[in-house]
Structure 1
Amino acid sequence: MRDGMNSNWKVIFDDRNRFFWMLQCAGWFGYALVHYIGSLMHEMRDIYVLVILLGAYAGLLLTLPLRYLYRRIWDSSPWQLILVVLVASYLSAAAWAVIDNATYWEIYKFGFRPESNWFYFKNTIAKFYIMLSWSGLYFGIKYYQMLQDEKQKALMATSMAHQAQLKMLRYQLNPHFLFNTLNAISTLILIKENDLANKMMSKLSLFLRFSLDNEPIKKIPLEQEIEALMLYLDIEKVRFDERLHVVIDIDEEVKRALVPSLFLQPLIENSIKYAIARMEEGGRIVIAAHQVDDDLLVSVTDNGPGCPTPARELIERGGVGLSNTRDRLQALYGKNYSFTLTDNDPHGMRVEIRIPLEQIETT
């Protein structure tokens, strides 16, 4: 029963037009009720109830044009909004006062008129404050609804971020990597290299925890990203032993630059799979980061056999490592980034990423 009532209220709140009319009718009914209660303090004839109802009905009708006017000027500057609200409220109040005075003096006073015009002006000012209050409530409720919409969007973005995180883990920590790592640990245990197996398991645990703790929509310092990469590379070094050489060349001034979490790991994995693993004598991976004007330039270079496929085609069809990284950069930076894949000199591949330089705030 209660769930049904909550569902009905949710339908009303979600339908903005229905919600407006519910508040509009309730508000003007309340206005009439307050006037009626106030009339009980004086000896008023029963016909005064009709005057009250006609006044409330006139107020309801006169606020409808205000609604459509405020919709049209919604995106105007604050000063323009204030000016339009003041003028529109006063004109509506003046029209309302004319209608109210006509019904009062014709219906209740049988055509009698006051000697002074001060009464008309005072009535207009009183109704101006009511119209101004109506306008304030309209803007207040409208802004509140916009705030609720933003909160709803934030909740949806958070939900999508968690889904993106799961996809990131599925792409970046693919089954081959986990299978090879666990198989290497099992081999180490069989040959009684328990200390090394325990060390490898600890690094795998730390790397997995880092992946779970850092959502893909958040950015982390570059030095923290490199620390996570070293955990991953230390695991791979157990598999490749001395065949894998890693060089880190990071300028001191960009170590605290903000970057997407684990955005380099798929590129490193790609280099290991297509370069290091195919060379019997092993190979080298160089990770470099420097500041170029107001941007951060990050590169991943290997000295593998390279790839005969054109770079653009390789990005489009090469899947997981390259296209996933490019898509993440596009989602985070829009058009304000570059992602290039070129041949390395004398051989191998080179991936360059250029993004805006954002430094972490220090306290």
Structure 2
Amino acid sequence: MNWQEFLENRNRFFWFLHIGGWVGFAFVHYLGSLLHDLRDLFTWVTLLSAYAGAIFSYPLRYVYRRAWNMTPLKIALVVIVSSYISGLLWQVVKNISYWEIYKHGWRPDFWLYYTQSSLWSFYIMLSWSGLYFVIKYYQMLQTEKQKVLSANNMANQAQLKMLRYQLNPHFLFNTLNAISTLVLIDENKNANAMVTKLSDFLRYSLDMDTMKKVTLAQEIKALQLYLDIEKVRFEDRLRIEFEIQKNCQNALVPSLLFQPLVENAIKYAIAVKENGGTISLKVSRFANDLLLELSDDGPGAKIVKGELARENGVGLANTRERLATLYDKNYSMVISDNVPSGVKINIRIPFQQEQ
């Protein structure tokens, strides 16, 4: 059992602190007896005192459990009264053991002498109560923190699923529309080829865990499947250039990160030009960051405050939301004009690798 599991078991953790605290109390008093040159018999008095303290403080746990949901004023009253009663009973036992054991049976004539110094015992029990509530509140806050983290994680997972489900129909609609067009113009061979590539791409998508990051090599493989589908339509009009550093092959990236960006580039840069165009993908590492650059040499677009003025679909917005969900604020996505023409998208994410 590791330390975290031990702390999460509240009953076991209570007994560890309870027994450990009173053992420490006995040890401190024993060291004090050595400083005052007291007889060895005082050791038994100290042990009995610590044992009695553990016995009388233990019921406070159940008293405070019942008072837990009371108002703060009532809880304070319960703590003070309970601590004084348990402290008083503890002091009586301590005095009896002191007079009967250490003083060899001699005791004062008046029985109220057995309650002397009860205020000091009350302070000890009050300290025990304070520690109990501090630890209890700390455990409660930790539990609530775990619940919040779990809820946030579930919300992030749900958001990623929503974004992914939004992406797939969008891609399928465009691809099926292209296949339909090929069939209408009697390009059955190309239509069959596109259906085959689409099948491979969807199989790849279903086999991958959409909630986890994939290596860059896997993402490039998925991107190549998508480009093979588009090449059936555009043939030589669609040209691709990859420039990827070797030390980035195992870097982790969100699955299907490039597909919606390339889809936008094909729609607005390649399809509108008679001779087609080139889409370039560059991946490099700088310090602890992974740098991704996707560009085209199309006619370009109007960029307003880092956003495409024509962007009204799910491509860029979807990508930005996924990055924000996965990396919080530790990412950047910048859209700018490519030189000499076209649009360039630069993405920076933390460089991570599979463990």
Q: In the superposition, relative to structure 1, how do residues 332 and 68 fare at CA in structure 2: closer, same or farther (>3 Å)?
A: farther
- With over 3 angstroms needed to count, the CA separation of the structure-2 counterparts of 1:173 and 1:241, relative to structure 1, is farther
- Where structure 2 has 5 or more consecutive residues not aligned to the other structure, the ranges are 1-58, 74-78, 93-108
Alignment of 1:1-363 (within 5 A): 93=83, 97=87, 113-114=110-111, 116-117=113-114, 120=116, 128=124, 132=128, 135-136=131-132, 139-140=135-136, 143-144=139-140, 146-147=142-143, 150-151=146-147, 153-155=149-151, 157-158=153-154, 160-171=156-167, 173-174=169-170, 176-180=173-177, 182-183=179-180, 191=188, 196=193, 199-210=196-207, 213-215=209-211, 218-307=212-301, 309-312=302-305, 314-315=307-308, 318-319=311-312, 320-361=314-355
> How far does residue 326 in structure 1 lie from its aligned partner after superposition?
2.2
What is the CA–CA distance in structure 1 between the aligned matches of 2:236 and 2:278, rounded to whole Å? 10
1-side partners of 2:195 and 2:347: how far apart? 35
- Are the structure 2 counterparts of residues 224 and 204 from structure 1 closer, same or farther at C-alpha, using a change threshold of 3 Å? closer
Q: How many angstroms apart in 2 are the aligned matches of 1:357 and 1:124? A: 60
> What's the secondary structure of 2:239's corresponding residue?
strand
Q: How many equivalent pairs are there?
A: 272
User: Cα distance, 1:258 vs. partner?
Assistant: 1.9
CA distance in 2, matches of 1:135, 1:173: 57
Matched to 2:202, the amino acid is S
Name the CA shift for 1:282/1:194 in 2 (closer, same or farther; >3 Å): closer
**Equivalence for 1:48:** none
Q: CA 1:277–1:192 in structure 2 vs 1: closer, same or farther (change >3 Å)?
A: closer
State the shift of 1:176 in Å.
3.5
Displacement of 1:273? 0.6
Structure 2: how far apart are the matches of 1:115 and 1:343?
A: 92
Q: Is the 8 A contact 1:337 1:355 kept in 2?
A: yes
TM-score between both structures, scaled by the size of structure 1 = 0.59
TM-score, normalization: structure 2?
0.61
Unaligned runs of 5+ in 1: 1-54, 70-88, 103-111
Structure 1 residue runs of 4 or more that deviate by more than 6 Å after TM superposition: 89-92, 99-102, 187-190
CA distance change for structure 1 residues 255 and 193 in 2, over 3 Å: closer, same or farther? closer
Question: Residues 194, 326 of structure 1: CA spacing in aligned structure 2 closer, same or farther, 3 A cutoff?
Answer: closer
Q: 1:246 to 1:357 in 2, by over 3 A?
A: same
- Give the partner amino acid of 2:206: R
Q: 2:8 — aligned with what?
A: none
Q: Cα deviations across residues 287-335 of structure 1 (Å, max 9, x unaligned)?
A: 110012321110001111112x125364366132223222332333333
Flag the 1:152–1:343 CA change in 2: closer, same or farther, 3 A: closer
Amino acid paired to 1:335: K
Deviation at 1:158, TM superposition (A): 2.1
Q: 1:248 to 1:177 in 2, by over 3 A?
A: same
* Conserved 8 A contact 1:185-1:197: no
Native 8 Å contact 2:331 2:348 kept in 1: yes
Check whether the contact 1:219–1:258 (CA below 8 A) recurs between aligned residues. Answer: yes
Pick closer, same or farther for the CA change 1:157–1:132 going to 2, 3 Å: same
Say whether the 8 Å CA contact 1:300–1:350 is kept in structure 2: yes
Quick one: distance in 1 between partners of 2:306 and 2:288?
30
Give 2:298's aligned amino acid: G
Identity across the alignment (%): 31
Q: Is the 8 A contact 2:190 2:232 kept in 1?
A: no
Letter in 1 for 2:225: L
Whether contact under 8 Å (1:203, 1:232) holds in the other structure is no
The answer to whether the 8 Å contact 1:229/1:265 transfers is yes
